[in-house]
Amino acid sequence: MTFPFTAARATLISDDTVRADAAEMAAGMGLPDTSAEGWRYSPVGDLDLDSLQPVTAPPTVSLPKISEYEDHLAALDVAASVTVINGFVTSVEVADGWAAKGLVVAEQPFTMPPLAEEPNFFDVLHTGFAPAGLVVSVPDGLVVDEPIVIRNHLTAQSAGFSSLTVDVANNAEVMVLEHFTSEAGCLGVPITNFVVGDRATLKHTSVQDLDPSSWQIGRILGSAGQFGVLSSGLVAFGGKYARVRTDIDLVGRGAKGELVGAYFCDGDQIIDYRTFQHHRAKDTISDLLFKGTVDDEAGSVYTGMIHIHPDGAGSNAFQTNRNIKLGEQAWAWSVPNLQIENNEVRCSHASTVSPVDPDQRFYLHSRGVPPTVADRLIVAGFFEEALKRVPIQPAAEMARALISAKLDQRLGIK
């Protein structure tokens, strides 16, 4: 079959040389090399690009309701509601009261933020095929205490390249909740850029519930200024292979980055997280907790790097990844790392991969709890530490419902 991501198709989105050049560059690059550290343990070489259709015009379909879990979103009072289909922003509704106060949620051309490394195949492909993205701008001092909800959906066999930029000015606060869904056989390449000003706060949560035959290769780049707080929660249950790389730059003194993740994969799914906590200024704080469960023949990948830069004196950095294996053939790679260039710091990292705790199981069995029910209680309890730290709690309720559904499926309960 013919490589579908051609320069001719890229220029159907908009006729400019940047798109055409990016498409031609991607065609010459090929998929990432899994011997490279950033792609180790990944099955990215299995991606069938020829089966995908790049989307070059806004879709005419309406957003379907994928599952009952979306009721959690429908019940929210929101500052803004956004729909993205196949990478195209198809609707934006901003509550009048927030618009009057200066909150901007709008479609704007996307500019790739500076990357910490040479762009890979998917970054270049994104440059060629991403339509106008979504920009959220919060003016100085505005506290937006209702979430901005973004529903991001892919139709069957599509390749969608969505973009989100959130700019939080000094002393401002905002919450952004994303929900990713898809039909069968898709590829989603979302790129997100967060800029958090001095003494500003961003609370972000992503719930990924893709079709089990779809792929996601996502990227988050965030920075926080002096005493700014960037909190990001990543909750993932879907996808055949779903990967998110997160780079957090703490560039102002006293800046804080909080990362929490919860994931449950079964069948032959692989969920993959790569995180980088960069402490570039004094007295910065980062705290990461990712917890996951793998069942059947599914797998998870977590690699993380805490990097204390030379000007990072007084930094505190923590990184924890814990995994439960429910299936004998399930697997989890967990590789935390430290790079310290200033000795006046406090850092820790920890990772575990283990089956259900036999002591907890024995305790429940001794009180008459059947084995399958005991495992269900243990797994649900295992996730609570992470779910309580999800920045936007309605997303944690969605996650609990999705975890319950996974466990029901495991026990044959409909």
Q: What is the pTM of this model?
A: 0.95
Give pLDDT, residue 65: 64
Q: Say if strands 80-85 and 88-94 run parallel, antiparallel, or are unpaired.
A: antiparallel
Beta carbons within 8 Å of 299's beta carbon, 6+ residues apart: 265, 269, 270, 271, 330, 331, 332, 333
Please calculate the CA angle 62-64-66 and round it to the nearest 5 degrees: 165
The two counts, helices (H) then strands (E), for the chain are: 8, 22
Distance of CA 170 to the CA centre of its chain: 25
Please calculate the CA angle 131-70-268 and round it to the nearest 5 degrees: 80
Q: How far apart are CA 79 and CA 156, in angstroms?
A: 30
Q: How far apart are CA 126 and CA 191, in angstroms?
A: 8
Give pLDDT, residue 116: 59
Give pLDDT, residue 14: 87
Give pLDDT, residue 1: 53
The residue whose two tokens read 């084995």 is: 371
Nearest CA-CA partner of 225 in 144, 169, 141 = 169
Give pLDDT, residue 274: 98
Q: What is the pLDDT along the chain (414 residues), one digit of tens a residue?
A: 578 999 999 999 988 888 899 999 999 998 999 999 999 999 999 999 999 999 999 888 777 765 666 677 777 899 999 999 999 999 999 999 999 999 999 998 877 666 656 778 999 999 999 999 999 999 999 999 999 999 999 999 999 999 999 999 999 999 999 999 999 999 999 999 999 999 999 999 999 999 999 999 999 999 999 999 999 999 999 999 999 999 999 999 999 999 999 999 999 999 999 999 999 999 999 999 999 999 999 999 999 999 999 999 999 999 999 999 999 999 999 999 999 999 999 999 999 999 988 888 888 888 888 877 888 899 999 999 999 999 999 999 999 999 998 988 887 765
Q: How far apart are CA 278 and CA 108, in angstroms?
A: 29
Q: How far apart are CA 80 and CA 175, in angstroms?
A: 10
Give pLDDT, residue 69: 63
Give pLDDT, residue 357: 86
Q: Which helix (H) or strand (E) holds 71?
A: helix 71-74
Q: Which two tokens stand for residue 292?
A: 């996951």
Specify whether the CB–CB gap between 288 and 322 falls below 8 A: no
Provide the H-helix boundaries in 244-348.
none
Give pLDDT, residue 113: 65
First to last CA, the chain: 40
Give pLDDT, residue 68: 62
Specify whether the CB–CB gap between 350 and 323 falls below 8 A: no
Q: 348 vs 245, 255, 317, CA distance in Å?
A: 21, 18, 7
DSSP state letters, 147-207: -EEEEEEE-TTEEE--EEEEEE-TT-EEEEEEEEEE-TT-EE--EEEEEE-TT-EEEEEEE
Q: Which two tokens stand for residue 362?
A: 């024995």
Q: How many other C-beta atoms can be found within 10 angstroms of the C-beta atom of residue 201? A: 22
Q: How far apart are CA 252 and CA 197, in angstroms?
A: 9
